[in-house]
């Protein structure tokens, strides 16, 4: 009998290479981010078609606040625009929307738009699209440790912003760089890592499907002997 294809429950993507994609075309970095939104839509729709329970995207790190003000402003504007424009994509695909990170740093307008979309999609039962915004792994561990100590508890996982979201089975990073860059440090403990030699704006549904094929070939042992 043919073995059932192993499907990851949670696929997470470090979307990298937007700036280089734009530079190679003689364009401003923000054009790479614009084109990156089309890849977000393509992968989200493919994840929904494939029945992936969680797709998460590293959209903006705590360190990204240190980029030039104009780029940070343009990225935040793009986030706000995407949150408004993509409501139909999410509803049509029965997707739930969730933003995780240091949300206190977001503007009141963006925070309100995010909250509204989270509420609007809360009852959807398909893929959950998690966007990590103003997130870093060390920040998450620190805020969790503080809250855990205050509660006199020892269940750290419960205090991470990802509580309730299963750990990623597969983490994909585009652009050829091979590092986690302060992403899900605790949660990535047993994730399969896949580094893809394409810039994020070039990563589309066929690449997402190829990543799932690669994942199905991996032998996961969690430190045990099979
Ligand atoms: C990394 O490329 C990409 C980002 C920091 C931003 C990712 C954001 C988007 C694709 C926009 C919208 C997102 C959502 C969820 C709607 P880089 O700028 O670090 O590229 P480089 O390494 O080539 O400079």
Residue 134 has pLDDT above 50, yes or no: yes
Residue 214 has pLDDT above 90, yes or no: yes
Say how far apart CA 174 and CA 201 lie, in whole Å.
9
Confidence of residue 171 (pLDDT cuts 50, 70, 90): very high
Chain mean position to CA 18? 15
Average per-residue pLDDT for the chain: 96
Whether residue 153 sits in one domain with residue 100: no
Protein residue closest via CA to atom 5 of ligand 1: 60
Given the residues 16, 140, 167, 169, the one annotated as active site: 16
Whether residue 106 sits in one domain with residue 77: yes
Say how far apart CA 172 and CA 13 lie, in whole Å.
5
Protein residue closest via CA to atom 4 of ligand 1: 59
In ligand 1, which atom is closest to the CA atom of 20?
23
* pLDDT given for residue 4 in this prediction: 64
Distance between Cα 226 and ligand 1 center (Å): 39
Alpha helices in the chain (DSSP H): 18-24, 29-50, 69-85, 87-92, 108-121, 137-151, 205-217
Q: Is 164 in contact with 183 (CB distance < 8 Å)?
A: no
Whether residue 157 sits in one domain with residue 102: no
Say how far apart CA 52 and CA 56 lie, in whole Å.
11
Whether residue 145 sits in one domain with residue 85: no
Say how far apart CA 191 and CA 184 lie, in whole Å.
10
17 Cβ closer than 6 Å to some ligand 1 atom: yes
| Domain region containing 189 | 1-14+136-161+169-217
Q: Quick: pLDDT tens for 37-64.
A: 999 999 999 999 999 999 999 999 999 9
Residues of the chain with pLDDT > 90: what percent?
94
Q: How many CB atoms lie within 10 A of CB 69?
A: 8
Spell 152-185 as b/e; 16+ CB within 10 A means b.
eeeeeeebbbbeebebbbbbbbbbeeeebebbbe
* pLDDT given for residue 226 in this prediction: 76
Confidence of residue 1 (pLDDT cuts 50, 70, 90): very low
Question: Is 16 an active-site residue?
Answer: yes
In a domain, 75, yes or no: yes
19 Cβ closer than 6 Å to some ligand 1 atom: yes
Whether residue 130 sits in one domain with residue 79: yes
DSSP 8-state code for residue 94: T
Q: Quick: pLDDT tens for 149-166.
A: 999 999 999 999 999 999
In a domain, 206, yes or no: yes
Q: How many CB atoms lie within 10 A of CB 95?
A: 22
* pLDDT given for residue 225 in this prediction: 86
Q: Is 51 in contact with 7 (CB distance < 8 Å)?
A: yes
Whether residue 130 sits in one domain with residue 146: no
Compare 169 and 221 and report the one with higher pLDDT.
Answer: 169
59 Cβ closer than 6 Å to some ligand 1 atom: yes
SS3 of residue 91 by DSSP: helix
From 118, 134, 150, give the residue that closes a domain.
134
Protein residue closest via CA to atom 12 of ligand 1: 37
Whether residue 127 sits in one domain with residue 183: no
Query: Count of residues for the chain?
Result: 226
Distance between Cα 178 and ligand 1 center (Å): 16
* pLDDT given for residue 69 in this prediction: 97
Q: What is the CATH number of the domain that holds 183?
A: 3.40.1180.10
In a domain, 72, yes or no: yes
Domains held by the chain: number: 2
Whether residue 95 sits in one domain with residue 154: no
Residue 82 has pLDDT above 60, yes or no: yes
In a domain, 177, yes or no: yes
Protein residue closest via CA to atom 24 of ligand 1: 19
Cβ-Cβ contacts under 8 Å for 15 (sequence gap 6 or more) = 36, 39, 40, 57, 58, 59, 174, 200, 203
Confidence of residue 5 (pLDDT cuts 50, 70, 90): confident
Given the residues 18, 64, 167, 182, the one annotated as active site: 64
Two structure tokens written together for 180: 């986690």
């Amino acid at each position: 009998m043919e073995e059932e294809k192993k499907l990851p429950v949670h696929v997470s993507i470090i979307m990298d290479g937007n700036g280089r994609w734009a530079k190679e075309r003689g364009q401003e970095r923000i054009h790479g981010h614009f084109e990156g939104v089309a890849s977000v839509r393509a992968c989200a729709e493919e994840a929904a078609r494939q029945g992936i329970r969680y797709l998460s995207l590293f959209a903006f790190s705590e360190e990204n606040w240190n980029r030039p003000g104009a780029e940070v402003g343009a990225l935040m504007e793009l986030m706000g625009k995407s949150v408004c424009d993509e409501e139909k994509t999410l509803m049509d695909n029965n997707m739930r929307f969730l933003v995780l990170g240091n949300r206190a740093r977001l503007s009141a307008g963006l925070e309100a738009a995010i909250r509204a979309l989270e509420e609007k999609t809360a009852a959807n039962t398909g893929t959950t699209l998690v966007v990590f915004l103003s997130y870093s792994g060390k920040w998450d561990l620190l805020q969790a440790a503080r809250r855990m100590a205050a509660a006199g508890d020892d269940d750290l996982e419960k205090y991470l912003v990802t509580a309730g979201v299963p750990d990623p089975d597969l983490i994909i990073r585009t652009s050829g760089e091979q590092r986690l860059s302060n992403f899900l440090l605790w949660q990535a403990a047993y994730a399969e890592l896949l580094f893809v030699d394409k810039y994020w704006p070039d990563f589309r549904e066929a690449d997402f499907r190829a990543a799932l094929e690669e994942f199905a070939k991996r032998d996961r042992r969690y430190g045990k002997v099979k």
